């Protein structure tokens, strides 16, 4: 076995096939391909985190979250490379992309599903890609990592509402004030619940990183195409800006208002 054969470099390095003759399209392709590789690793780690939480292995789960946070930093930093693509450079090959759009990234959608932003309506976007649709359909019906974390809190004796533990997991988690009160106990008594206290902060880090990635995405797209519609019929910057309002773990943020009151 050689380095090249182990990494399948012949396959990997032949996967960059520009559809135009413009020099800067290679940057665009590699940016998105490497992002998909990092998303693949993130999904690999999220699946393991979910299993560890369900098995009450909180420390192992948080080790996985720590790795995911580093993956997120790499994904976020990559936007600075794409931002070197100027509007006049991008317009040279943008028309050749046809209906291709980052909105069609099924791995990105899978990450959002695993973090709790479920939306069954998104499956139809992937009707033309049955394997991707099937993968998303499976994840849609599974608990998210936040569902599993709340279930772990309940097993530890915290007052997580029973209806929340038995909810329809194909839908996005909805803010529940009772969860804020449960988490408040963790934050007000950190020495008694240190691993849970640390886990809450790790999850907040994960969401903060995700929001930073979204912001850099918006900023980069605005820098390159301004307020134009995105490829594939998406609304471009407007759509991306609305995503900044989404949250995965609302109670972990809301509890901050309650501490000390």
Measured CA to CA, the distance from residue 191 to residue 4 in angstroms comes to 50
Do the annotations mark residue 170 as ligand-binding? no
Query: DSSP state, 157?
Result: T
The CA distances from residue 198 to 62, 77, 134, 207, in Å, are 9, 26, 35, 14
The whole-number pLDDT of residue 226 equals 78
pLDDT at position 244 over 80: no
Tokens 């900044």 locate to: 244
pLDDT at position 227 over 70: no
| CATH architecture type of domain 24-258 | Up-down Bundle (1.20)
Under the banding of pLDDT at 50, 70 and 90, the label for residue 107 is very high
The whole-number pLDDT of residue 221 equals 87
- Written as six digits, the tokens of 255 are 């509890």
Under 8 Å between Cβ of 52 and 149: no
DSSP 45-62: HHHHHHHHHHTT-HHHHH
Mean pLDDT of all residues in the chain?
92
Do the annotations mark residue 81 as ligand-binding? no
The whole-number pLDDT of residue 115 equals 96
Mean pLDDT of 25-48: 97
Measured CA to CA, the distance from residue 109 to residue 122 in angstroms comes to 8
The whole-number pLDDT of residue 190 equals 95
Which range is least confidently modeled, 71-75, 95-99, 150-154, 205-209?
Answer: 95-99
CA angle 197–200–206, rounded 5-degree value = 145
- Written as six digits, the tokens of 60 are 């192992």
The neighbour count for residue 242, using CB atoms within 10 Å, is 11
Under the banding of pLDDT at 50, 70 and 90, the label for residue 133 is very high
pLDDT at position 155 over 90: yes
Do the annotations mark residue 67 as ligand-binding? no
Under 8 Å between Cβ of 42 and 110: no
Do the annotations mark residue 231 as ligand-binding? yes
The whole-number pLDDT of residue 184 equals 96
Mean pLDDT of 35-54: 98
Do the annotations mark residue 31 as ligand-binding? yes
Is 257 exposed, middle or buried (CB count within 10 Å of its CB: 0-12, 13-18, 19+)? exposed
Mean pLDDT of 233-243: 61
Do the annotations mark residue 11 as ligand-binding? no
Tokens 């329809």 locate to: 168
The whole-number pLDDT of residue 236 equals 60
pTM of the model: 0.91
User: Domain limits of the chain?
Assistant: 24-258
Under the banding of pLDDT at 50, 70 and 90, the label for residue 229 is low
Measured CA to CA, the distance from residue 132 to residue 139 in angstroms comes to 11
Query: DSSP state, 19?
Result: S
pLDDT at position 102 over 90: no
Measured CA to CA, the distance from residue 133 to residue 208 in angstroms comes to 28
Do the annotations mark residue 29 as ligand-binding? yes
Do the annotations mark residue 90 as ligand-binding? yes
Give the 3-state secondary structure percentages of the chain, helix then strand then coil, rounded to 5: 70, 0, 30
Considering just the CA atoms, what is the radius of gyration of the chain in Å? Answer: 20
Do the annotations mark residue 30 as ligand-binding? yes
Q: What's the residue count for the chain?
A: 261
Nearest to 102 by CA among 237, 244, 248: 237
pLDDT at position 97 over 90: no
pLDDT > 90 fraction of the chain, expressed in percent and rounded: 82
What is the tens place of the pLDDT at every residue in 158-211? 999 999 999 999 999 999 999 999 999 999 999 999 999 999 999 999 999 999
């Amino acid at each position: 076995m050689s380095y090249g054969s182990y990494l399948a470099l012949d396959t990997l390095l032949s996967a960059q096939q520009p559809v135009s003759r413009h020099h800067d399209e290679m940057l665009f392709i590699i940016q998105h391909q490497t992002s998909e590789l990092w998303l693949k690793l993130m999904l690999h780690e999220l699946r393991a985190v979910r299993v560890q939480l369900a098995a009450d292995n909180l420390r192992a789960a948080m080790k996985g979250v720590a790795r995911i946070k580093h993956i997120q930093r790499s994904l976020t930093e990559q936007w600075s490379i794409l931002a070197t693509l100027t509007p006049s450079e991008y317009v040279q090959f943008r028309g050749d992309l046809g209906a291709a759009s980052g909105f069609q990234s099924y791995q990105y959608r899978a990450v959002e599903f695993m973090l709790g932003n479920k939306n069954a309506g998104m499956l139809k976007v992937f009707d033309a890609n049955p394997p991707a649709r099937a993968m998303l359909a499976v994840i849609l019906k599974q608990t998210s990592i936040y569902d599993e974390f709340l279930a772990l809190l309940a097993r530890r004796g915290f007052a997580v509402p029973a209806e929340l533990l038995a909810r329809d997991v194909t839908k996005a988690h909805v803010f529940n004030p009772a969860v804020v009160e449960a988490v408040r106990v963790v934050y007000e008594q950190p020495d008694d619940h240190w691993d849970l206290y640390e886990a809450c902060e790790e999850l907040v880090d994960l969401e903060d990183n995700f929001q930073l990635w979204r912001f850099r995405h918006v900023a980069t797209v605005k820098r390159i195409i301004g307020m134009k519609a995105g490829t594939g019929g998406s609304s471009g910057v407007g759509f991306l800006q609305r995503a900044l309002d989404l949250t995965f773990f609302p109670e972990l943020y809301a509890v901050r208002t309650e501490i000390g009151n």
